Structure 1
Amino acid sequence: MRIGLLGTGPWARMVHAPALAAHDAFDLAGVWGRRADAAKELAAQHGTRAYDDVDALLADVDAVAVALPPDVQAGLAVRAARAGRHLLLDKPLATTVVQGRAVADAVREAGVASVVFFTTRFQPEPEAWIAEQADRGGWFTARALWLGAVFTGDSPFADSPWRRTKGALWDVGPHALSVLLPVLGGVRRVAAAVPGPGDTVQLVLDHERGASSTLTLSLTAPPAAAGAGVELRGEAGVTLLPDAADGPLPAFGRAAEALRGAALDGRPHACDAAFALRVTEILAEAEALLEGVRQHD
């Protein structure tokens, strides 16, 4: 499968480009970026071509991988889907429901495959645990912590404008939801959303199967306090999300393989644009509640 890469930032350099260039099932056919010099540099590192025109790249590939801010990603994803290209997208799908729905609609109308890279869902140990707990059922409540030190430690993403604007809710919130939704079911409503220190937010979710969950999300945690975890409590007792044995680069390779599989057999992947749209809707609901709390304060 010929695939093009849209984006040249840290995530594209660290994960997308090396994973796609090394994957036996893909030909990294080209790179496009908003900065032509960065696109040329990244393309040269991986022995491929830099494109000045995104439509020219779309004309030459079967699929695109997108490593761009979510508001930019959404518009380009619609454009690529309408050109008949399969989509390997990043989370969050978009930062508004309107943008997210436009992507999901374009994917459905064009009949292309889509996979959104929720990292945890493409790491074998966590994904096996998620499937096991979803089959087991009987869960009463869950607690998710996703605490990053992006703005308090030494992170390559500290200068990301969209992360500074949208914060942990939109950056790590999708990771937490990608674990909770397949286990506890969809969210009927965001029952509460409360701001904490820095960009920290705490959410209470009411799930369709009767369970509730709490999420604590941050990109401004002290480095010594950073980490992620999910705890489930129910009829089977207590269980914890296991650590992954590998990092995002091999996980992205599995996401790319999942896209290829969905394109070949025509069956939607569990982490497709429709699923990512539901995540976007939940985050937008939480954001609206947070804005109300802040205005009241």
Structure 2
Amino acid sequence: MRIGLLGTGPWARLAHAPALSEHAELEFTGVWGRRPEAAEELAGQHGTRAYADVDALLADVDAVAVALPPDVQAELAVRAARAGCHLLLDKPLAPTVAEGRAVVEAADRAGVASVVFFTTRFQPEPAAWIAEQEKAGGWFTGRAEWLGAVFTVDGNPFAASPWRQDKGALWDVGPHALSVLLPVLGDARRVVAAVPGPGDTVHLVLEHDGGASSTATLSLTVPPAAAGTTVELRGTTGVTRLPEATQGEVAALTRAADALLAAADTGRPHPCDAAFALRVTEILASAEDLLAAGR
């Protein structure tokens, strides 16, 4: 599969470009970015070509990987789908439900496969744990704490991201928490409450289709010593916690590319496709509305 990369920022450099260039079943065809000089540099580092025109890249590939802000991703994903390209996207899918729905509709109309990179879902130990708990069932409640120090550590490359500054932890790490809770506890039929905490911290209470409830605490502004991730489930089989991953983002993104190849080959949607990412976007938007209303 010929694949192009859209984006040249820190995430493209740290994860996407290494994963695409090292993948045995992908031909890393080229890079396009909003800064042509950055595209030239990144392409040179990985032995591929920089494209000045995004449509020229879309015409030369079978798929695209996108490492761009959500609003830019949504627009270009629609454009790529219409050009017949399979989609390897990042979370969040889009900054609004309408833009996310446009991506799903474009992919459906074009008949292209989509995979959205919810990192935890593509790490072996967490992914196996999620599948095991989904099969076990009988969960009464869940608790997720996704606490980062992006805005409290000097020199963090993601702290300068305008969309993160605007959307905060709800939209940055919220998708990660939901990607674990939803397959195990069922869809969130209602966001019961969304309450702000220090900095960009948000506390959510969710009611799930299966009758379980969950809470999620999300932040990018915790003190560095307090950062970390915890997901705990309690139910008929007792208490269990999400295991730590032993592999990093490049290995996880490689598995996401594997998933895209499989979905494109078989025509069977992946559980983390654009439709699932749209559902995550809808839940985030509901929480955002509650925060704005002070509820």
Partner of 2:260: 259
Partner of 2:39: 39
Give deviations 1:205-264, integer Å, cap 9, x for gaps.
000000000000000000000011100000000000000011111000000111011000
Deviation at 1:158? 0.9
Question: What letter is aligned with 1:275?
Answer: F
> What is the CA–CA distance in structure 1 between the aligned matches of 2:157 and 2:239, rounded to whole Å?
35
Q: Which secondary structure state, in structure 1, belongs to the residue aligned with residue 294 of structure 2?
A: helix
Q: Which secondary structure state, in structure 2, belongs to the residue aligned with residue 44 of structure 1?
A: helix
Deviation at 1:156? 1.3
Partner of 2:153: 153
> What is the CA–CA distance in structure 1 between the aligned matches of 2:55 and 2:198, rounded to whole Å?
43
Partner of 1:166: 167
Partner of 1:61: 61
TM-score w.r.t. the length of structure 1 is 0.98
Percent identity over the alignment is 77
Q: How does 1:181-260 map to 2 (within 5 A)?
A: 181-260=182-261
Partner of 2:122: 122
> What is the CA–CA distance in structure 2 between the aligned matches of 1:100 and 1:126, rounded to whole Å?
26
> What is the CA–CA distance in structure 2 between the aligned matches of 1:182 and 1:194, rounded to whole Å?
24
Give deviations 1:25-80, integer Å, cap 9, x for gaps.
00110000000000000000001000000000000000000000000000000000
Partner of 2:102: 102
CA RMSD of aligned residues (A): 0.7
Deviation at 1:95? 1.1
Q: Which secondary structure state, in structure 2, belongs to the residue aligned with residue 92 of structure 1?
A: coil
Deviation at 1:140? 0.2
Deviation at 1:6? 0.1
Give deviations 1:78-119, integer Å, cap 9, x for gaps.
000011100000000001000000001111111100000000
Partner of 1:29: 29
Q: Which secondary structure state, in structure 2, belongs to the residue aligned with residue 115 of structure 1?
A: strand
Give deviations 1:259-280, integer Å, cap 9, x for gaps.
0110001100000000000000
Question: What letter is aligned with 2:75?
Answer: G
Question: What letter is aligned with 2:138?
Answer: G
> What is the CA–CA distance in structure 1 between the aligned matches of 2:48 and 2:250, rounded to whole Å?
19
Partner of 2:111: 111
Partner of 1:7: 7
> What is the CA–CA distance in structure 2 between the aligned matches of 1:48 and 1:246, rounded to whole Å?
26
Q: Which secondary structure state, in structure 2, belongs to the residue aligned with residue 15 of structure 1?
A: helix
Partner of 1:269: 270
> What is the CA–CA distance in structure 2 between the aligned matches of 1:143 and 1:74, rounded to whole Å?
30
How many residue pairs are counted as aligned between the two chains?
294
Q: Which secondary structure state, in structure 2, belongs to the residue aligned with residue 233 of structure 1?
A: strand
Q: Which secondary structure state, in structure 2, belongs to the residue aligned with residue 56 of structure 1?
A: helix
Q: Which runs of 5+ in 2 are unaligned?
A: none
Q: Which runs of 5+ in 1 are unaligned?
A: none
Question: What letter is aligned with 1:64?
Answer: V
Q: Which secondary structure state, in structure 2, belongs to the residue aligned with residue 58 of structure 1?
A: helix
Q: Which secondary structure state, in structure 2, belongs to the residue aligned with residue 42 of structure 1?
A: helix
> What is the CA–CA distance in structure 2 between the aligned matches of 1:49 and 1:249, rounded to whole Å?
21
Q: Which secondary structure state, in structure 2, belongs to the residue aligned with residue 87 of structure 1?
A: strand
Question: What letter is aligned with 1:164?
Answer: Q
